[in-house]
Amino acid sequence: MVAAALDEALAVGRIYAIGGVQGSGKSTLAAQMAALGAQRGLRVAVLSLDDTYLGLRERRRLGREVHPLLATRGPPGTHDLALACETLDALRAGRAVRLPRFDKLRDRRLPPSRWPEARDVDLAIFEGWCLKVPAQTDAALRRPVNALERNADPEGVWRRFCNDVLGRDYPALWARLPHLLWLQAPSFAPVAEWRWRQERAARATRTDGAPRRTRSDIARFVQHFERLSRHALRVMPATAERCLRLDARHRLRGARS
């Protein structure tokens, strides 16, 4: 699968996008493609939508001005879209650029001095959980999808804000992604467990005293992504340029191109 994805990416242009819900394997596939590309003598840069999250101060401002849930990173409205677009434009043009990096355990973007530099890349892989996912209809926003929305967003202010931003502002970023490979999870059911495994793996490599989150913390965190993730699972297999269907153990069960 890795070799096929790399060959496809090189055939479609300098920017290649990988999408899928949390824990579906986007980062792993991107890293494997970059490693294989390096073996072939290629320069491959990897950038994540997550690396363009707004800083905690900016998100807290949104939380005060719009809705408290916007202090939590993740949904549309919590990304620095200008940074994402500028970085992709530089990569597509072959210009030297520093790639932003976000420390998820400390919930902050690293300072630019710690961003790796990419120059003269043959391929740039951009991965993210909601890439090219369209906004929902107004009717779809009326009912909460989980306890977080029922208890923390009973009037729907947060979800409507995120949906409005997704439909209004994110298409400029999507326009920079000519080809999307979508990793289709079997359902939303395994996402919390997948995300918990990611958290444990990330913590295992850190010795700097970064804050630790519990399984229940992760379960609540995932609820911020649930609405749009369920929507994506319904619509993206038919709209992405290529779709790989996975089972709950990340095994390939089918493909569409």
Q: Return the sign of the alpha-carbon dihedral for residues 3, 231, 59, 85.
A: positive
pLDDT of 199 reads 86
Contact 252, 24 (CB under 8 A): no
Token representation of residue 39:
């073996």
Q: Is the pLDDT of residue 128 over 90?
A: yes
Per-residue pLDDT at 208 exceeds 80 = no
Confidence tier at 205 by pLDDT (50, 70, 90): confident
Q: How many angstroms separate the CA atoms of 154 and 137, rounded?
A: 18
Within a 13 Å sphere around the CA of 242, how many CA atoms are in the beta-carbon half? 17
CATH class of 2-256: alpha beta
Q: Is 154 in a helix, a strand, or coil?
A: coil
Locus of tokens 């913590």: 203
Residue 206 has pLDDT above 70, yes or no: no
- Residue 122 one-letter amino acid: D
Q: What is the pLDDT of residue 1?
A: 87
3 pLDDT band, cuts 50/70/90, is very high
Whole-number pLDDT of residue 45: 98
Across the chain, the runs of DSSP E, i.e. the strands, are: 15-20, 44-48, 97-98, 102-103, 108-109, 117-118, 123-128, 180-184, 242-246, 252-256
Report how far residue 234's alpha carbon sits from residue 21's, in angstroms, rounded to the nearest whole number. Answer: 12
Please report the DSSP string for 20-77 in residue order. ESTTSSHHHHHHHHHHHHHHTT--EEEEEGGGGBPPHHHHHHHHHHT-GGGGSS-STT
Tell me the percentage of the chain whose pLDDT exceeds 70: 98
Q: Which two tokens stand for residue 35?
A: 């490693």
| Whether residue 143 has pLDDT greater than 80 | yes
Mean pLDDT of the chain: 96
pLDDT confidence of residue 207 = 67
3-state SS assignment for residue 190? coil
- Report the pLDDT value the prediction gives residue 228, as an integer from 0 to 100: 99
Residues 12 and 178: their CA atoms lie apart, in Å, by 8
Does residue 175 surpass a pLDDT of 80? yes
How large is the average pLDDT for residues 18-37?
Answer: 97
Contact 165, 171 (CB under 8 A): no
Specify the pLDDT at position 200.
87
- Of 72-86, 94-108, 168-182, 206-220, which gets the smallest average pLDDT? 206-220
Reduced to 3 states, what is the DSSP secondary structure of residue 110?
coil
Residue 237's contacts (CB-CB under 8 Å, 6 or more residues apart) are: 182, 184, 243, 245, 256
What is the reported pLDDT for 68?
A: 98
Averaged pLDDT for residues 227-244: 98
* H or E segment to which residue 126 belongs: strand 123-128
Tell which wins on pLDDT, 128 or 213. 128
